[in-house]
Structure 1
């Protein structure tokens, strides 16, 4: 029960935190998006993972970085997946946030990404036209 409450508290806190992040004025053409997969080190319980990253001030470092948090999800059996947006010149800083704050609690993977949602309606329309021709 304690673990469930901890995860619930973290989720609510991350939602409020992400709302505050929206003040960072990045646009798609002047920034990069990176999806970060933070895999739980399964030999450690969630409480010890959180204690480790909090001791390393991960959340504070991330909040003070130039990265805007676009999404942050807990994925059962995997860990956490977040998508960040930041200007390319802050890549080193954002990387150091994870190296000094998340390592030891999570195994991290980074993937350049882009927002497909604006493209989806265009692709749907193209698909409909192709289907109509047949």
Structure 2
């Protein structure tokens, strides 16, 4: 039984490695970009001055957006905190995550979701096609 399990694990590693080599892109394309929605949820045991002090002390404003990452929008969501929508190359995902871990934790609880823009797909199906642009 142990030999079968070890053989299965070995084959799984081999297959996973061979697939990773085949799918590695040689260059970054525009289609490699993704949207990332980040909720910076306020810790309601602190007031805004305390949150701002933590954020400033941790270097949030200097380090939050790694090079090559753009802000699509940044909203205040009353009762929750802030919602940030970023556009980034997939290769920058770990850099964004690390920047959040280093500079936003303690000040906020975070939730991160990969997202995409459905509007171009659904736009022609809508009767009312009006769209707000900020």
**TM-score, normalized by length of structure 1?**
0.68
Greater helix content: 1
Larger radius of gyration: 2
Partner of 1:10: none
- What does 1:1-134 correspond to in 2, within 5 Å? 29-124=31-126
1:63 and 1:96 map into 2 onto residues whose CA distance is: 10
Gaps in structure 1 of 5+ consecutive residues: 1-26, 129-134
Judging changes above 3 Å, is the alpha-carbon distance between structure 1 residues 83 and 28 closer, same or farther for their aligned structure 2 residues?
farther
Shift of 1:28: 5.8
Q: How many Å apart are 1:118 and its aligned residue? A: 1.7
- TM-score, length of structure 2 as denominator length: 0.68
What is the CA-CA distance between 1:64 and the residue it aligns to?
Answer: 4.3
Q: Deviations over 1:53-93 (max 9, x none)?
A: 11111111124433210000011111000101111111111
4+ residue segments displaced more than 4 Å: none
The CA distance in 2 between the partners of 1:55 and 1:69, in whole Å, is 22
CA distance in 1: counterparts of 2:120 and 2:53, whole angstroms: 39
Does the 8 A contact of 2:66 with 2:95 survive in 1? Answer: no
CA contact (8 A) 2:65 2:99 kept: no
Contact 1:74 1:81 in 2 (8 A): yes
- Is there any run of 5+ residues in structure 2 with no aligned partner, and where? 1-28, 129-134
Change in Cα spacing, 1:28 to 1:120, as seen in structure 2 (3 Å) is farther
Q: How many residues align?
A: 101
